[in-house]
Structure 1
């Protein structure tokens, strides 16, 4: 009879997102195979990299360990690249993770993970007593209850199949995660120049199907800690988005609003009378178009429209335009679409708004995890794509948002520029 795991579908998907497209094969379950270290050891020895899951009443805790389990009583000898993570059992099933080097010792009574810090801290797991003691270091990193001792309900061990490039891949994940967290911390600490506005507005412009709405959902998901789908997305030859939407982003479910807003628009189409009307763009940039305005491809908004904002303030204006492109489709932009982008770029330049190119649907995660994150656009974008983009948007800067001064283009700083890379790269 097959043994059923306690690991939920959502937890498994979160682990696959963390470790790559791996398979988890159940090796050991304490309530089935016995709650002794020897029972676990005999089933898990020489199985390669493993994930150990400990299920507590209010949360689940896990350890990814690279390489084989050590021999019993071998002692704390070899430093191992490990990932420690926890799932909070709330409505969102939030996952937090910490990348730490540790050594493992297996005795007849318990597993002990030692962290090479001063003073030395240990994580110990006693299967017979069903207790786990988590050191203060991990409690703080994973946001766990300050009570360092937990009584667990179940322990399971999985073999991890399909892990890429062993230590090299884990090291890249570690560096990428640290870099991503640094960028997101910069964004949380960002303040618009001279406090002229409390939130900057970023307009997403791009062809139909380029992923504008999906990008917003990804950004929101990053800060909420789970997948969200506030913006309507789909696949069609015409734009799914038909309303102008102004989205704020909160840091966590009940957190405060972050200092930027993403403005979603109808997709651009190469055909006239289809998609976003170019004549609407200057009104959007100047802050004259209200939230939830219904676009009409045939009829742009005018000052006579009842919802038209006649005297927009600085906070209503667009402070940066992000040209959104599907990185896999840049080579296929038609001459008509290139011509339309030149029209759009002319309007943006006339309004003196900062602009940046934002690439979505990056499927090659290996290139995303390059060592030089700040120049990864050079490895991800071919020279022909760069030239085509320059032709379609002659003044568009692919790598930076120039905004250290006001009123020159925009209110963005380098921290927001870097966050664009972190969001579209690491949350997809």
Structure 2
């Protein structure tokens, strides 16, 4: 009979993503194999990178070791680059990590991890027990006793890792930045008291990725992929309604103070795509949610749901132009002229604007593995410069983002890019309020 892990399918896939799109192969399971250090060692030694996981109540604790499992009869501490992680069962999105310079050895029937000469973590298979010091427990936000019994211990071989000595810093960097951005956005509040939520309108050609960006943002906060906004690649717009999407923090969480507004895609031909005469009404906040758009007939004040006297909270606070980075040079002169006309309209209302360039493959390469580079304008990219100049959007308000499209699981690197772009858009929207009389 096959030995299976206690991890759910989703948890296992999320760990594989976090570890750099690797594969996990179960080597040892304490409830199936003998619960002693010798049996564990026999299954796990000379396997190179491993992940050791213990289940403590509703908490999953783990340590990833880049080097070999230590051997029972080796009394020396061996340098073993490692990082530790924890998450509540069934909620990988709440994962906490800690990177330590670690040495490991088998000591008194235990697998022991040391940092700076001090014991920080150990597992005793024979007694189904564990121990961790206060510092590590605090970093991982573990609110359980520093020692005790565990329900199960599992060890996985990690397949698909190269020999990069900086591997751990790269894979943990994404999770660290992602979690930091999540905290910032979850606690975000508009800078003025009289507006409870920021409204961001996405405008772009058919198939540029507007609805995909909305779905991507919602997915990150939901902790799972969701596709509420309809996405398509037809030559005509799939989106036929004006939609105002709230963003909910988790399945049972609160709604966050920003909303993403979606509309028909723009088209170079008149009578196709979003009607240009609708745009002023959208910007002013006159158009109701779920209004059925008509490419050849704009909304009028006679519509029963027309918002005749919109307040500041109803209007659009930031316009996000969305373009496929691979199709910038293919835009027709008519489409460019339409964008420029819209931009004049947007500027006439003193509305903030940004430019989002989507469908970049391997978007992480823009940052060369260094997420601090996200704060720097990417002026070396000719496509970005061309799009910025064409729409008269400053380069520092131009961002590259890779949406979720055909994936089945979330990716910390992609999450980080999406959250970073959302944060920057909100910051640009703040400038709108700073300009108010």
TM-score under structure 2 length normalisation: 0.81
Question: d(CA) in 1 for partners of 2:211 and 2:248?
Answer: 17
Question: d(CA) in 2 for partners of 1:400 and 1:271?
Answer: 28
Shift of 1:165: 5.5
The CA RMSD measured in Å over matched residues stands at 3.1
- Give the structure 1 partner of residue 63 of structure 2: 63
Alignment of 1:270-281 (within 5 A): 270-281=268-279
Question: d(CA) in 2 for partners of 1:112 and 1:173?
Answer: 23
Shift of 1:123: 2.2
- Give the structure 2 partner of residue 333 of structure 1: 331
Deviations 1:332-377 (A, max 9, x none): 3333332322222222122211111123334313434532423565
- Give the structure 2 partner of residue 48 of structure 1: 48
Question: Does residue 400 of structure 1 match 2:397?
Answer: yes
Deviations 1:222-263 (A, max 9, x none): 233333333333443332322222222233444333332221
Question: d(CA) in 1 for partners of 2:47 and 2:268?
Answer: 55
CA contact (8 A) 2:211 2:230 kept: yes
Deviations 1:170-228 (A, max 9, x none): 21233343334334444344432342312111111122222222222222232333333
Question: d(CA) in 2 for partners of 1:172 and 1:30?
Answer: 31
Alignment of 1:342-421 (within 5 A): 342-364=340-362, 365-371=364-370, 372-375=372-375, 378=378, 382-383=381-382, 385-393=383-391, 395-400=392-397, 419-420=420-421
Question: d(CA) in 2 for partners of 1:247 and 1:115?
Answer: 47
CA contact (8 A) 2:96 2:141 kept: no
CA change 1:32–1:181 in 2 (3 A) is closer
Task: Find the residue that maps to 1:31 and give its secondary structure.
Answer: coil
Question: d(CA) in 2 for partners of 1:354 and 1:48?
Answer: 52
Task: Find the residue that maps to 2:32 and give its secondary structure.
Answer: helix
Structure 1, unmatched stretches of 5+, are: 402-416
CA change 1:154–1:190 in 2 (3 A) is closer
- Give the structure 2 partner of residue 82 of structure 1: 83
TM-score under structure 1 length normalisation: 0.83
Alignment of 1:237-252 (within 5 A): 237-252=235-250
CA contact (8 A) 2:199 2:260 kept: yes
CA contact (8 A) 1:367 1:376 kept: no
CA change 1:202–1:99 in 2 (3 A) is same
Shift of 1:423: 9.2
CA contact (8 A) 2:25 2:157 kept: yes
Shift of 1:153: 3.4
Alignment of 1:168-247 (within 5 A): 168-247=166-245
